[in-house]
Amino acid sequence: MKQLKVAIVLLVVGGLLTTAAFFMAFYTAEVQRFGTITVTEQLDTAYPLQSVSADGFQYGRPWFSQKIFYFHVPVAEASFLVFGVAAFFAIRFLITKRREYDTKSRMAMETSLIFVVLTMITGMLWTRASWGIWWEWEPRLTTYFIMTLLMIAYFVLRNSIEDEERRATYGAVFAIIAFIDAPISFFITRLIPSSHPIVFQSGMASSNLVPFIVAQVGMLMVGYAIYTMRMGEEILYERVEAVKEALED
Amino acid sequence: MDPTNTELYKLVLHDAPYVIAGYGVLWAALVVYVGMVLRRIMRLEKEVLILGESVERRNAE
Amino acid sequence: MIPLVLTAGSIGIAGVGTLLATMSVNTKGKDFVLTVLMVPLMYPLLLAAVSATTAAVLGGDGSVEQFWAGMGGIAGYDAIMLLAAYALYEFVIGA
């Protein structure tokens, strides 16, 4: 099981990198500020005192919820990328009609679905902390939700077809059509006014960029490890089934 | 608690539960998923061993 | 303006709908699978069409821009989906 070994090594390295990014996010990354908070008494804090009015003392509010950025965005970008890989393998399958590409496409789709679900969960927690609500029907969230539904629909479609060749072809066709939504979801915040933040337009400090890149690389490694692990499992499963069938004859 | 401290913690900790929950859920989900896959792989490998034995028995017959 | 939205929207629905219907005919729970596949895929088109229709019906400031923005969305969706459906239909029929 060479594949499994590679997967476990990648998983450990990816885990270490994301853990390193986690600590960097809380220890070295620059604190972003937004808005103000008003308190009745003057405090001895590191946050800048901005103004004093009749309501009380106004401090720049540290944006603690921004700290989720170092995991939320890497997972989201990894989900788009792995979805792209799934669509790529779907195209390869339609051209070559070889079964291994169908399996690869399915495994990539599964990995992507896990990342999508994790993005949704971290995103929702951030939305609750930052906007005060769990969900809002704004462009990025809506298109991303559609993407999630399409991925689930892909598995529903596969499970409802019995003929193996037809299942593979239909799955590949649907994966390609579903992938059209990914670039829409990715670029929509830049096209339509949206309350979802766009971080990379204004550039960012290197103390913020380094943990982000480390987390992104780590997350991609974790994704690749999950994909290889599932591939190894699938190949093993197919072999066991083949041997079982041969024994029954 | 000292009221000034209360205000101070409110200032810092307003978002903290959500951020901590975010990181926690992400890690927990990944660990659980990987554990599930590893367990399935181990079961399959056990099956391979059993099947290998039965193939040998059949060849011996 | 409303017939324009209706025509453009119908083209999009027909384009993808035909492809998905051809696929879902060969599945176990036909109507159920078609709904699961169709609804999320139709959603962007639906949003653009609703936005354009709202602008056409209500009028008012900036309604012309909103209408053409919605029409642009529908046109883009139609073009991409018809191309994809045209390219992929052969495989669906062949399977």
Which residues in chain A are contacts of C88 at CB distance < 8 A? 94, 173, 176-177
Q: What number of C-beta contacts closer than 8 Å exist between A and C?
A: 70
Interatomic CA distance for residues A236 and A234, integer angstroms? 5
Q: What ipTM score was computed for the predicted complex, to two decimals?
A: 0.88
Q: Which tokens belong to C50?
A: 């609703």
Tell me, what's the pLDDT at A174?
Answer: 93
Q: With 90 as the cut, is the pLDDT of residue A70 above it?
A: no
- C and B touch with 3+ CB pairs <8 Å, answer no
In angstroms, how far is CA A50 from the centroid of its own chain? 37
Q: Choose among A149, A157, A173: nearest Cβ to C91.
A: A173
Rg over CA atoms, chain C: 15
DSSP 3-state of C26: coil
Domain ranges of chain A: 2-30+65-248, 33-62
Kindly report, residue by residue over A93-120, the tens digit of the pLDDT. 999 999 899 999 999 999 999 999 999 9
Instruction: Measure the N-to-C terminal CA separation of chain A; round to a whole number of Å.
Output: 28
A14-18, A163-167, B16-20, C13-17: least confident range: B16-20
Q: Which tokens belong to A182?
A: 């990914």
What is chain A written as a DSSP string?
-HHHHHHHHHHHHHHHHHHHHHHHHHHTSPPPEEEEEEESS----SSPEEEE-SS-EEEEEE-GGGGGHHHHHHHHHHHHHHHHHHHHHHHHHHHH--HHHHHHHHHHHHHHHHHHHHHHHHHHHHHHHHHSSS----HHHHHHHHHHHHHHHHHHHHHT--SHHHHHHHHHHHHHHHHTHHHHHHHHHHHS--SS---TTS---HHHHHHHHHHHHHHHHHHHHHHHHHHHHHHHHHHHHHHHHHHH-
Contact status of B21 with chain A (Cβ, < 8 Å): yes
In angstroms, how far is CA C52 from the centroid of its own chain? 14
What is the total count of domains within chain C? 1
What is C70-84 written as a DSSP string?
HHHHHHHHHHHHHHH
Instruction: Measure the N-to-C terminal CA separation of chain B; round to a whole number of Å.
Output: 81
Which residues in chain B are contacts of A228 at CB distance < 8 A? none
Tell me, what's the pLDDT at A228?
Answer: 92
Task: State whether A43 and B3 contact (CB < 8 Å).
Answer: no
Interatomic CA distance for residues C80 and C77, integer angstroms? 5
Question: Which residue, C43, C41, C87, C17, is CA-closest to A180?
Answer: C41
C-alpha to C-alpha distances, C45 to A45, A54, A225, A240, C70, nearest whole angstrom: 51, 51, 37, 46, 9
Task: State whether C92 and A163 contact (CB < 8 Å).
Answer: no
Tell me, what's the pLDDT at C24?
Answer: 87
Kindly report, residue by residue over B7-58, the tens digit of the pLDDT. 667 666 777 788 888 888 888 999 999 999 999 999 998 988 888 888 888 8
Higher pLDDT, C25 or A201: C25
Task: State whether A160 and C39 contact (CB < 8 Å).
Answer: no
Q: Choose among A37, A67, A240: nearest Cβ to B19.
A: A67
Q: Which tokens belong to A127?
A: 């939305």
Please name the amino acid found at residue A142: T
User: How much is the average pLDDT of A30-44?
Assistant: 67
Question: Which residue, C5, C21, C26, is CA-closest to C78?
Answer: C5
Domain ranges of chain B: 3-60
Tell me, what's the pLDDT at A107?
Answer: 93
Contact status of C74 with chain A (Cβ, < 8 Å): no
Task: State whether B34 and A229 contact (CB < 8 Å).
Answer: yes
Kindly report, residue by residue over C59-79, the tens digit of the pLDDT. 778 788 888 888 998 999 999
Range of the domain at C79: 2-94
User: How much is the average pLDDT of A73-84?
Assistant: 93
Tell me, what's the pLDDT at A207?
Answer: 77
CB-CB neighbours of A148 under 10 Å: 18
In angstroms, how far is CA C70 from the centroid of its own chain? 12
pTM of this prediction? 0.85
Task: State whether B11 and A59 contact (CB < 8 Å).
Answer: yes
Q: With 80 as the cut, is the pLDDT of residue A146 above it?
A: yes
CATH architecture of the region A2-30+65-248: Up-down Bundle (1.20)
Question: Which residue, A177, A77, A188, is CA-closest to A142?
Answer: A188
**In chain B, whose CA is at the least distance from the CA of A19?**
B27
Query: Interhelix angle for A181-191 vs A139-159, to 10°?
Result: 180
Interatomic CA distance for residues C84 and C92, integer angstroms? 12
User: How much is the average pLDDT of A146-166?
Assistant: 91
Residues in chain B: 61
